[in-house]
């Protein structure tokens, strides 16, 4: 389900989902999204506002090609059967003309909508139109009407029938040989899977990895054993019971990885069951990556992995259920009107999500780059405590996190950092850029990419950045649903943080530990903000001076410069050349054991939240 096009009644609608493979690289596609939407709209006889480009990734088999996910949105609640079938056939028959000069040749991977067949339609031809007898009875190709034409049967038809039969026989024999050799090569696996097994008690089945075959691949099985950590192993029988045989009424989300179902375990615990949709090598890598990451990552702002299920080609991840939906749903989706986020809730979400990322970047061992941080991957508790989810694309950072990883570009359109999209160089600060986009979503209530906006306003970062420098600009971009009584000074400080996070130059972005410190100064929330009395007294005057640089002078005009906020948020110093020099990487400074213990006693935060304080001490000394 998705939202209706702009200008129509606001309701949830059922889109036609299309996946295309374009013959251009991902970084070239970024500048052509609007053109693609326009050409598809023309090809299927719809308005451009009905074509939503939902995401893009480099193709697994060929990084020089791009996989594009598209939603075609009806003007009403759903499409009629005629329109649906027309769209289906026009895509599969390549009747949707997409400019090959800009996009190269394209392939259709799927066209999905309730009632449509799962496979492409038969190729059109003249046989279907010509093969009928006088009584409008359909005849099979290459067959003869023996009752009426027995005496006139020609040798040519007999030859065709014989050759067709021989050819079909050869095909059947070849297929039988292929199946035979596959069965022989995997005899030890198929024999195990075909042996009848009495269903085990659920408590025992949940704790025994060997009770059922996990996968057709022994290496995959050994990987699960190595990666699962403390996660529980569930049987497919248990997953069936928990989700009522994966009933569609229990679907609570769907993405590139697969569907997410709400489930109830036998002990009454409510869980989210994420089912892997892709059964290829890339899907296996994403599954193992998420199992391995979540089994060793533990933080209050990260979603908790409870267990896994992998048998009979079904792969599931079982999480704690985070019941209040995603941040995306509250900002842009079905929860927007029923559970409006006020400014305090948005600040709480921003700080909690920043803490989760800071833990990944600076406190986990080894450090982790999320690579797909976005509002739909921030899940909310009932009190709006955020939890970062979806680690299928996560990668381990190199060293202290300031060295890049060369990798195929993955992620979600609108959140991908420019250096990663253009070069494939992945850094922890690529996540910082994505976090900055989420901050802009919280400030503006807009989507990262919205092709229904007027020209020049489709990309959130490009549109918002010029408005972050003065009061009039901020009043233009602030989400109107927040009302008029919001604290503009607090808005200005968060806008300054967002502006720094989405800087095009990597070196100009802060680390997440520094973002946490800056947001704590904005929030000033009880124990989350207060350090020990003596230390807070020492910093009180400095903090007030530092954070005020990022606020707006209501009469002075533009005051939010990059240099001012860099100085305030990072606690760095300016050298003689006018450029900032850092004292450390994303992790804590290497200080003595006594000094570290004394600092850890100051608050309950993670070590990443102290890096700014440590840096301040070095400056003052």
Binding-site residue set for ATP: 274
User: For 123-154, where are the alpha helices, taking DSSP H only?
Assistant: 127-130, 146-149
| Distances in whole angstroms, Cα of residue 256 to Cα of each of 70, 387, 412, 429 | 12, 19, 10, 24
Q: How far apart are CA 112 and CA 15, in angstroms?
A: 9
DSSP string, 268-283: S-EEEEEEE---SHHH
23 with 77: CB under 8 angstroms?
A: no
Question: What are the φ and ψ backbone dihedral angles of 400, each rounded to 5 degrees?
Answer: -85, 5
Which residue(s) pair with 320 in the sheet?
271
Q: Which helix (H) or strand (E) holds 309?
A: strand 305-311
Nearest Cα neighbor of 449 from 15, 37, 1, 23 is 37
Two structure tokens written together for 337: 């009107």
553 is a catalytic site residue:
no
User: Angle at Cα 569 formed by Cα 563 and Cα 570, nearest 5°?
Assistant: 85
DSSP category for residue 362: I
Q: How far apart are CA 424 and CA 419, in angstroms?
A: 7
DSSP category for residue 363: I
Residue with tokens 């259709």: 108
Two structure tokens written together for 139: 């005849």
User: Angle at Cα 228 formed by Cα 223 and Cα 229, nearest 5°?
Assistant: 125
Which residue in the list 335, 363, 372, 572 is annotated as catalytic? Answer: 372
**496: burial class by Cβ within 10 Å (0-12, 13-18, 19+)?**
buried
Nearest Cα neighbor of 408 from 231, 286, 590, 548 is 286
404 with 425: CB under 8 angstroms?
A: yes
User: Angle at Cα 169 formed by Cα 163 and Cα 175, nearest 5°?
Assistant: 140
- Give the residue ranges of the annotated binding site: 274
**Residues with catalytic function:** 372
């Amino acid at each position: 389900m998705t939202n209706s096009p702009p200008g129509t009644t606001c309701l949830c609608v059922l889109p036609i989902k299309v996946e295309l493979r374009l013959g251009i690289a991902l970084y070239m596609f970024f500048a052509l999204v609007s053109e693609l939407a326009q050409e598809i709209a023309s090809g299927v006889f719809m308005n451009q506002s009905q074509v939503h480009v939902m995401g893009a990734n480099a193709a697994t088999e060929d990084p020089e090609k791009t996989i594009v996910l598209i939603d075609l949105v009806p003007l009403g609640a759903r499409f009629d059967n005629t329109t649906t079938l027309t769209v289906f056939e026009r895509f599969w028959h390549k009747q949707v003309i997409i400019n090959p000069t800009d996009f190269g040749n394209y392939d259709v991977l799927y066209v999905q909508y309730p009632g449509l067949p799962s496979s492409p339609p038969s190729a059109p031809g003249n046989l279907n139109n010509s093969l009928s007898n006088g009584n409008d009875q359909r005849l099979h190709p290459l067959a003869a009407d023996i009752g009426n034409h027995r005496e006139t049967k020609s040798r040519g038809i007999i030859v065709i029938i014989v050759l067709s039969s021989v050819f079909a026989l050869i095909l059947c024999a070849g297929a039988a040989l292929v199946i035979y050799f596959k069965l022989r090569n995997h005899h030890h696996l198929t024999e195990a899977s075909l042996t009848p097994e009495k269903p085990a008690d659920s408590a025992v089945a949940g704790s025994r990895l060997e009770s059922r075959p996990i996968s057709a691949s022994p290496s995959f099985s050994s990987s699960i054993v190595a990666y699962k950590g403390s996660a529980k192993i569930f049987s497919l029988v248990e997953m069936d019971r928990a989700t009522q045989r994966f009933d569609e009424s229990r679907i609570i989300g769907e993405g590139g990885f697969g569907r997410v179902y709400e489930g109830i375990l036998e002990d009454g615990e409510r869980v989210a069951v994420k089912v892997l949709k892709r059964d290829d090598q890339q899907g296996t890598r994403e599954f193992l990556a998420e199992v391995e990451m979540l089994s060793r990552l533990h933080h209050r702002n990260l979603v908790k992995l409870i267990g896994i299920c992998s048998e009979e080609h079904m792969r599931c991840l079982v999480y704690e259920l985070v019941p209040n939906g995603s941040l995306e749903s509250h900002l842009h989706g079905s929860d927007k009107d029923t559970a409006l986020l006020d400014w305090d809730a948005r600040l709480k979400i921003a700080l909690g999500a920043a803490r989760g990322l800071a833990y990944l970047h600076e406190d986990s061992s080894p450090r982790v780059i999320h690579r797909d941080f976005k509002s739909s991957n921030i899940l909310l508790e009932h009190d709006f405590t955020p939890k970062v989810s979806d680690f299928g694309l996560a990668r381990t950072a190199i060293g202290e996190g300031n060295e890049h990883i060369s990798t195929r570009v993955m992620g979600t359109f609108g959140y991908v950092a420019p250096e990663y999209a253009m070069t494939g160089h992945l850094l922890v600060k690529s996540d910082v850029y994505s976090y900055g986009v989420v901050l802009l979503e919280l400030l503006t209530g807009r989507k990262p990419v919205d092709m229904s906006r007027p020209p020049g306003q489709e990309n959130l970062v490009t549109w918002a950045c010029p408005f972050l420098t003065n009061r009039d600009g901020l009043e233009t971009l602030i989400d109107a649903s927040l009302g008029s009584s919001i604290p503009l000074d607090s808005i200005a400080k968060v806008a300054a943080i967002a502006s720094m996070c989405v800087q095009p130059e990597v070196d100009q972005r802060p680390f997440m530990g520094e973002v946490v410190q800056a947001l704590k100064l904005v929030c000033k929330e009880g124990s989350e903000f207060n350090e020990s009395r003596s230390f807070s007294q020492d910093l009180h005057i400095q903090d007030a001076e530092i954070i005020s640089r990022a606020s707006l002078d209501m009469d002075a005009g533009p005051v939010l410069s990059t240099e001012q906020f860099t100085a305030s948020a990072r606690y760095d110093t300016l050298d003689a050349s006018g450029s900032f020099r850092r004292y450390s990487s994303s992790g804590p400074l290497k200080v003595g054991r006594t000094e570290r213990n004394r600092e850890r006693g100051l608050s309950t935060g993670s070590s990443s939240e102290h890096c700014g304080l440590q840096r301040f001490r070095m400056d003052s000394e």
